[in-house]
Amino acid sequence: TVVLFCSFALHTAVGQVMFVAQMAFFARVSDPRIGGTYMTLLNTIANLGSKWPQTLVLALVDPFTIPGYVDGFHILNGICVLSGALWFFLARKSVASLNALPLAAWAADFRLHGTATAMQSMA
């Protein structure tokens, strides 16, 4: 139970640090002209990307359980840790390049492409 408690405490602490870092990134790159809306969009996309794996993993606990030997939770926990470490090493350069983009690259483009031509042809 001590290992489970420490694991849960570490997970909670790291999750909070990641959430704060994510919100700070979203606040930094949000276009000030539509700040709240942009932050909501980014947060919605992040939530969609982070919630479905939890449901999938919970659904896979029973199929990964080996009766009498290992609970599927422990097997999936190991798989998730290994896949997370692999993703970190494979994606860290891409994530760093996104973080290094100038703020102007994240600004919303309010120009409607092709609208001026269509309006002129209607006149």
Q: Got the DSSP string for 94-110?
A: HHHHHHHS-GGGGS---
| pLDDT of 49 | 85
Distance CA 110, CA 123 (A): 23
Report whether 108 contacts 38 (CB < 8 A): yes
| Nearest one of 72, 42, 41 to 56, comparing CA atoms | 72
Percent of residues, the chain, with pLDDT higher than 90: 27
Give the per-residue pLDDT at 3.
85
> Does residue 112 surpass a pLDDT of 70?
no
Q: What is the mean pLDDT of residues 101-116?
A: 74
Percent of the chain past pLDDT 70, that is, above it, reads 90
The values of phi and psi at residue 113, to 5°, are -65, 130
The pTM assigned to this predicted structure is 0.63
Residue 119 has pLDDT above 50, yes or no: no
More confident residue, 112 or 118: 112
Phi, psi for 70 (deg, rounded to 5): -130, 135
